[in-house]
Chains A and B, each alone.
Chain A
Amino acid sequence: MKYTVQIVGVGGQGVLMASMVLGNAAMAAGHDVSMSEVHGMAQRGGTVLSTLRFGDGTISPLEPRGGADLIIGFEPVETCRAVDLGNEETTFLMNLDPIYPSMVAAGFEEYPLTEELVGSIRKVSGKVLTIEAGVLAIEAGRAVTANAVMIGAAAAIDGFPLPAELLKKTLLETVPEKSKELNNKAFDLGYATMAGRK
């Protein structure tokens, strides 16, 4: 078995943290793990991509285009930009909370409507799951737990090879002591929301 997750988003959204949680859980489950992260200049508000590959004999930190089993999109435009990382069988887990690029904020470029963005992926893929992680995170108590919501949601996806309990345990080991409770709640909300869709 080999499994590849591509996590995309914007610098500061917690993409690296989420990929660390998934990676550590994969290691705890006994898999070989190989990941690639973006550091440096791209983190200044630019697009961030984290690649996580696990399974027998995994050694390459990069996956070919089209090879992802799961694409976790922390931001709608970035999910659309990453479409070609997936294929017909790929599952898309797409957060719907936008982060406006600076040129959009300044009114020089337009940010597409959410329906257009989701629709454009649905045209090519039958496996698009959407979630409002920011809304759920606020419900959990703090907007910054949106990445915990996303991890919880990923855990509920059909065929996701890492057990939900293990993911949650790894998440809680990763976050600071004082925010364990919040992250626990955010994870559960993400999980329940996605499980409820089945």
Chain B
Amino acid sequence: MHMAVVPKEGSRQLLLGNEAIVRGLVEAGVGFASTYPGTPSSEIGNILEVIAPDSGMYFEFSSNEKIALETAAAAAVSGVRSFAFMKHVGVNVAADALMTLAYSGIRSGMLIMSADDPSAHSSQNEQDNRYYATLSMLPMVEPSTPQEAKDMVAEAYRISEELAVPVIYRTTTRVNHARSIVEYGSVGETKAKGHFEKDDRRFVSIPAHARMNRVRLLEAERRAAELSEASPLNFVDGEGGVGIITAGVTYTYVKEFTSGASILKLGFTNPLPERMIADFIRGKKHIIVVEELEPFLEDQVLRICAQNGLAVPVYGKRSGHLPRQWEFSPDTLKGVSTLTEVRETPAPLTGCDVKLPGRPPTLCAGCPHRGIFAATKKAVGDRPHVYCSDIGCYTLGVQDPFNTADVVICMGGGLGTAGGFSEATDQKAIAFIGDSTFFHSGITPLTSALFNGHEMVAVILDNRTTAMTGHQPNPGTGRSFGNVNTAGLDIETVVRGLGVGFVRTVDPYNVKDTIKTMKEAVDHKGLAVVISKRECPLDLKRRKTLSCKPYAVDADKCIRCYTCLKMIACPALIKGRDGTLTIDVTQCIGCGMCADVCPKDAIGEVWT
């Protein structure tokens, strides 16, 4: 996977948007990159983990997005081009740093990538982060295709350095995870070390300095507007009486599936090129604004019309032609087919008339989360409770038969809400949080729970990786890439160090033992922490270190009570149409959880 650095200028490859961005970083000579993993941005980190040293770049997985942004900011004020990247909700975590960094500004170029996820393919919301650009008054660029995703990186660094402020580089899932042909440019010279020159009035944000920095930021914004007017990232494509204004991936839908209209394609989307937009609108029959999520462009277009005395009708979300929810596709354009020519597509076949079983994403066969969920449910019994879950694979505990997610908000939110439920209700508050999420934002709520005396159970699901986003290392695993080797932090030591009295570590594969420990934890008066420690089998498979000794069901002993299915529900357990239970050896990894809960000892290792 060295495709991002090796190929020469002029060669072409079929690249994922995220791979194209990595190549863009290499061509722009970026010396410092940092992230907390989050889909749809994750592949960038997975590639940088491998290639960063060879391209002279320092790269790190920071403990959370705020730290990623702060470390990258330090590089950029020291003369090193830097790149902080995260998913849209990660920007919320980093927002505190972002808002004031905009005031201080930077010296070498800095991009902050926000990978938004319309339709929430892998997310808890579909917030539109373009508003962070207007909120922070920072310039923003938005690519439409993988080729642009690469090319705009260098252009965005030029903008950042000319204005001495970070630039928001905003993508959406269908740019990050689109794949198309990318032609490479030349590889830039990378500077990984700089020197910090003191300048208190810029970098020490006390009130007296902040007031003056705001004036400078407003000036940068004014100059950014001029750059936007002249930017090659904003251009008119085609002629016609009807005008379409669009940006990001929706440009590709407009370009391919409409005809006869003139398209104003915006790539530099904050500040908008207001004169260019007014000139484009003038004389048009009407304007259609095509953008996903909020009417970010549309509302500004309406204002530009009003300020320029333009009485051209503007259609889009405010007029009800296009939706605010979910990502667009070429199909969405049918909403404006009365306003412009939209390509007809053949009538889709009607759906099939057989009742199809659902196929939601699910915890893997042998996933240790199955064991801890089964044990927790058994220990809690019919005691009133609230399960406060978090962001990770274990959110899938929401499904039958576990139902171990009653509340999910955000990273670290399980522990925070558990504290609230423990005071505001008489229900037992039980929080689940993964190892990576614990280091991201789980330690602070534990200190708050101790400080305020919350009586709750915190279950830390330590599967020794950041699983959901593609198995990135985290502070608990230690680091061994990019010529840096560190030991992992021991979660039990961290929790004891905070001052938690009740701390137990269990192996969730031993379900019965785990039930006993969970019973103690649930009965404990005060804060109880249970660490459920067992490697993610998918990660072991990926690293080719998983040894499988499949199990089998002894049909003579099995009484068809289905305790194994009801408690563990592993996809390797197959209940036939006749009620017999078998184990699919192609899926079974030999974790033994089903055997551990079997009341008749009817499940055991296959002896060969």
Q: Give me the interface of A with B, judged by CB distance under 8 Å.
A: 10-11, 20, 23-24, 27, 32-47, 57-67, 77-78, 80-81, 83-90, 100-112, 116-117, 120-121, 123-125
Residues of chain A within 8 A of B393, CB atoms compared: 44
Q: Contact between A106 and B565 (Cβ–Cβ < 8 Å)? A: yes
Question: Given A34-B180, A101-B359 in contact, is the A117-B354 Cβ separation under 8 Å?
Answer: yes
Assuming A39-B122, A110-B355, A110-B577, what are 19 further A-B pairs, CB within 8 angstroms?
Answer: A27-B12, A33-B180, A40-B39, A40-B42, A41-B468, A42-B122, A44-B361, A45-B571, A46-B362, A59-B255, A60-B255, A65-B345, A66-B348, A77-B356, A88-B346, A88-B347, A105-B573, A107-B575, A116-B354
Q: Contact between A62 and B14 (Cβ–Cβ < 8 Å)? A: no
Question: B16: nearest residue on chain A (CB-CB)?
Answer: A37
Question: Given A37-B16, A105-B575, A107-B575 in contact, is the A60-B350 Cβ separation under 8 Å?
Answer: no
Residues of chain A within 8 A of B330, CB atoms compared: 60, 62-64, 67
Q: Which 6 A-B pairs rank lowest in CB-CB distance, beginning with the nearest? A: A66-B348, A107-B575, A40-B122, A40-B39, A87-B346, A46-B361
B252 interfacial contact with A, CB 8 Å: yes
Question: B342: nearest residue on chain A (CB-CB)?
Answer: A64
Q: Give me the interface of B with A, judged by CB distance under 8 Å.
A: 12, 14, 16, 39-40, 42-43, 121-122, 145, 174, 177-181, 249, 252-253, 255-257, 329-331, 345-364, 393, 396, 400-401, 468-470, 562, 565, 569, 571-575, 577, 579, 584
Most buried by B among A20, A40, A111: A40
Question: A75: nearest residue on chain B (CB-CB)?
Answer: B359
Q: Contact between B249 and A84 (Cβ–Cβ < 8 Å)? A: no
Q: Contact between B349 and A124 (Cβ–Cβ < 8 Å)? A: yes
Q: Contact between B358 and A44 (Cβ–Cβ < 8 Å)? A: no
How far does the alpha carbon of A32 sit from the alpha carbon of B14 in the complex, in Å?
10
Q: Name the distance in Å between A76's Cβ and chain B's nearest Cβ.
A: 10
CB within 8 A of B177: which of A10, A34, A36? A36
How far does the alpha carbon of A47 sit from the alpha carbon of B255 in the complex, in Å?
29
Q: Contact between B468 and A83 (Cβ–Cβ < 8 Å)? A: no
Most buried by B among A38, A105, A112: A105
Q: Contact between B329 and A88 (Cβ–Cβ < 8 Å)? A: no
Question: A89: nearest residue on chain B (CB-CB)?
Answer: B346
Q: Contact between A23 and B14 (Cβ–Cβ < 8 Å)? A: yes
Residues of chain B within 8 A of A121, CB atoms compared: 352
Residues of chain A within 8 A of B348, CB atoms compared: 65-66, 84-87
Residues of chain B within 8 A of A107, CB atoms compared: 562, 565, 575, 579
Residues of chain B within 8 A of A80, CB atoms compared: 352, 354, 356
Question: B179: nearest residue on chain A (CB-CB)?
Answer: A35
Question: A92: nearest residue on chain B (CB-CB)?
Answer: B349
Residues of chain A within 8 A of B575, CB atoms compared: 105-107
CB within 8 A of B331: which of A27, A61, A65? A65
Q: Contact between B39 and A66 (Cβ–Cβ < 8 Å)? A: no
How far does the alpha carbon of A188 sit from the alpha carbon of B349 in the complex, in Å?
32
How far does the alpha carbon of A105 sit from the alpha carbon of B179 in the complex, in Å?
34
CB within 8 A of B350: which of A11, A37, A102, A124? A124
Q: Contact between B14 and A120 (Cβ–Cβ < 8 Å)? A: no
Question: B343: nearest residue on chain A (CB-CB)?
Answer: A64
Q: Contact between A103 and B357 (Cβ–Cβ < 8 Å)? A: yes
Q: Name the distance in Å between B142's Cβ and chain A's nearest Cβ.
A: 15
Question: A66: nearest residue on chain B (CB-CB)?
Answer: B348
**What are 27 A-B interface contacts by the 8 Å CB criterion?**
A20-B179, A23-B14, A24-B14, A33-B179, A33-B180, A35-B178, A38-B177, A39-B39, A44-B393, A58-B256, A59-B252, A60-B257, A61-B180, A62-B329, A63-B330, A66-B346, A67-B345, A81-B352, A81-B356, A83-B350, A87-B347, A87-B349, A101-B360, A103-B357, A105-B584, A111-B357, A123-B353
Q: Name the distance in Å between A5's Cβ and chain B's nearest Cβ.
A: 13
Residues of chain A within 8 A of B579, CB atoms compared: 107
